[in-house]
């Protein structure tokens, strides 16, 4: 019997931050390393998703490689047979299945997607593409082509996973068993244990998530930041005027964010770090400790990055893409037959 499939996307664009490192990169690597005995693990770059909103296309190609290099430096294994690493755009079945599924998807259904509404509201009308509207259908194809059961989804993606289940069930009812229906969101959370509550916040505005933003990068630590630059950002972090260190997201989000970052960077438990710091009064000392840990972390990661062999990444992509073209092609052919194209 073939293994059940776990599948997730490795974002192509956006410079990666330490928030991505601990919130996304490490969990994905952990999953690839520890689950691949029992499951097939598909990690793919959704590169066709990366221009549903406007981007600088001259940078896309190098961004994709940069990000794969960073994953590799962080420990992504390139030598495990049941871990497949591939680019969406290199497997044409993604586009082909998307078209077919488009024709079974209601406009009203897509209109209800909150991420679309959210993203569209931030763009002028003529920049809201049909691709952005359509994005969940491409995502459904990404999942259904490989019969994936488990897809780790953050809150912003749960609606898309629900849609994937809906369209899979709809097609199965109409045409017979075409697709493996992914597990419901609740089972996904049970499987992945998505309750660790990791929330790295912006250093300048600890009420919002740390992520690349249009206004300022001062509160964001990128994996490519020079260690000195990053240390300065930490020293400039927003705190509060209570004058006593406490782990308390409600009343001291800035301080709490620093305590959390310190625990992650030094591989200690939150309790241990809190024990060491709670009750102390000198915020500057805490900032210095976080700055030092940040410097060490970035130095180490960047040294590993310099050692990454691009050819090993390219070879892995080639072999995974060949294998995945086969699997995706079989699913596509079943669907083409069902709808009368073959
Ligand atoms: N939409 C996902 C995101 O924005 C990326 C993605 C595309 C994805 N296709 C997917 C994730 C399929 C999981 C499965 O993060």
Q: Which of 94, 131, 160 to mutate to test the pocket of ligand 1 (most atoms within 8 A of CB)?
A: 160
What is the C-alpha to C-alpha distance for residues 21 and 44, in angstroms, rounded to an integer?
A: 17
Q: Same structural domain for residues 124 and 159?
A: yes
Q: Which pLDDT tens digit goes with each residue over 274-300?
A: 999 999 999 999 999 999 999 999 999
For residues 143 and 10, the answer to whether their CB atoms sit within 8 Å is no
- Nearest ligand 1 atom to the CA of 115 is 4
CATH number at residue 275: 1.10.240.10
What is the C-alpha to C-alpha distance for residues 69 and 223, in angstroms, rounded to an integer?
A: 12
Q: Same structural domain for residues 36 and 157?
A: yes
In a domain, 34, yes or no: yes
In a domain, 59, yes or no: yes
pLDDT of 196 higher than 80: no
Q: How far does residue 69's CA lie from ligand 1's centre (Å)?
A: 19
> What is the Cβ-side half-sphere exposure of residue 47, based on CA atoms within 13 angstroms?
20
Q: Same structural domain for residues 133 and 19?
A: yes
Instruction: Give the residue whose CA is nearest to atom 2 of ligand 1.
Output: 9
Domain that holds residue 287: 227-305
Give the per-residue pLDDT at 168.
98
**104 vs 11, which has greater pLDDT?**
104
> What is the Cβ-side half-sphere exposure of residue 229, based on CA atoms within 13 angstroms?
11
Q: Which residues are catalytic, by number? A: 119, 209, 212
pLDDT of 1 higher than 70: no
Q: How far does residue 44's CA lie from ligand 1's centre (Å)?
A: 9
Q: Which pLDDT tens digit goes with each residue over 25-42?
A: 999 999 999 999 999 999
The DSSP element (H or E) to which 150 belongs, if any, is: strand 148-150
Q: Which of 23, 89, 142, 168 to mutate to test the pocket of ligand 1 (most atoms within 8 A of CB)?
A: 142
Q: Same structural domain for residues 136 and 274?
A: no
Q: Same structural domain for residues 62 and 188?
A: yes
Alpha-carbon dihedral sign for residues 67, 155, 145, 89: negative
Q: Same structural domain for residues 81 and 173?
A: yes
Strand partners, 7: 42
Q: Same structural domain for residues 163 and 185?
A: yes
Q: Same structural domain for residues 281 and 323?
A: no
Query: Which of 15-24, 45-54, 179-188, 325-334 comes out lowest in average pLDDT?
Result: 15-24
Give the per-residue pLDDT at 41.
98
Q: How far does residue 46's CA lie from ligand 1's centre (Å)?
A: 7
Q: Same structural domain for residues 138 and 264?
A: no
Query: Which of 114-128, 161-175, 253-267 comes out lowest in average pLDDT?
Result: 114-128
Q: Same structural domain for residues 70 and 160?
A: yes
Q: Which pLDDT tens digit goes with each residue over 53-107?
A: 999 999 999 999 999 999 999 999 999 999 999 999 999 999 999 999 999 999 9
Q: Same structural domain for residues 325 and 297?
A: no
**Pairing, β 40-45 against β 5-9:** parallel
Q: What total number of domains does the chain contain?
A: 2
Q: What is the pTM of this model?
A: 0.91
Alpha-carbon dihedral sign for residues 129, 134, 135, 138: negative
Instruction: Say which residues have a Cβ less than 8 Å from residue 336's Cβ, sequence separation at least 6.
Output: 100, 342
Q: Same structural domain for residues 175 and 258?
A: no
Give the per-residue pLDDT at 24.
87
Angle in degrees, CA 69, 153, 76, rounded to 5 = 25
- Nearest ligand 1 atom to the CA of 7 is 14
Q: Which of 101, 157, 158 to mutate to test the pocket of ligand 1 (most atoms within 8 A of CB)?
A: 157
Pocket around ligand 1 at a 6 A CB cut-off: 7-9, 11, 46, 49, 139, 142-143, 151, 157
In a domain, 169, yes or no: yes
Q: How far does residue 8's CA lie from ligand 1's centre (Å)?
A: 7
């Amino acid at each position: 019997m073939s293994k059940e499939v776990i599948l997730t996307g490795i974002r192509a664009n956006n410079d990666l931050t330490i928030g991505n490192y601990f919130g996304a990169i490490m969990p994905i690597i952990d999953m690839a390393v520890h689950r691949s005995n029992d499951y097939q693990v598909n990690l793919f770059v959704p590169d066709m998703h990366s221009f549903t909103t406007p981007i600088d296309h001259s940078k896309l190609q190098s961004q994709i490689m940069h990000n794969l290099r960073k994953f590799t430096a962080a420990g992504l294994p390139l030598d495990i047979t049941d871990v497949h690493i591939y680019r969406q755009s290199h497997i044409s079945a993604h586009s082909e299945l998307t078209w077919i599924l488009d024709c079974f998807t209601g406009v009203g259904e897509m209109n209800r997607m909150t991420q679309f509404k959210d993203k569209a509201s931030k763009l002028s009308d003529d920049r809201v593409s049909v691709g952005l509207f359509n994005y969940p259908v491409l995502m459904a194809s990404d999942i259904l082509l490989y019969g994936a059961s488990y897809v780790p989804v953050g809150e912003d993606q749960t609606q898309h996973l629900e849609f994937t289940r809906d369209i899979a069930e709809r097609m199965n009812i109409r045409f017979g068993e075409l697709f493996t229906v992914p597990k419901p969101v609740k089972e996904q959370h049970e499987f992945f244990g998505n309750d660790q509550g990791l929330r790295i916040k912006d250093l300048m505005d600890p009420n919002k998530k740390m992520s690349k933003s249009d206004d300022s990068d001062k509160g964001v630590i990128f994996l490519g930041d020079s260690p000195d630059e990053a240390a300065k950002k930490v020293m400039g972090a927003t705190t509060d005027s209570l004058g006593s260190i406490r782990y308390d997201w409600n009343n001291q989000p800035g301080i709490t964010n620093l305590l959390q970052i310190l625990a992650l960077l030094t591989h200690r438990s939150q309790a241990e770090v809190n024990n060491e710091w709670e009750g102390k009064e000198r915020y500057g000392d805490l900032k210095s400790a976080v700055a030092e840990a940040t410097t060490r972390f970035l130095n180490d990661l960047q040294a590993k990055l310099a050692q990454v062999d691009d050819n090993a990444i390219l070879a892995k992509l080639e072999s995974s893409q060949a294998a995945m073209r086969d699997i995706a092609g079989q699913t596509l052919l079943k669907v083409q037959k069902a709808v009368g194209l073959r």
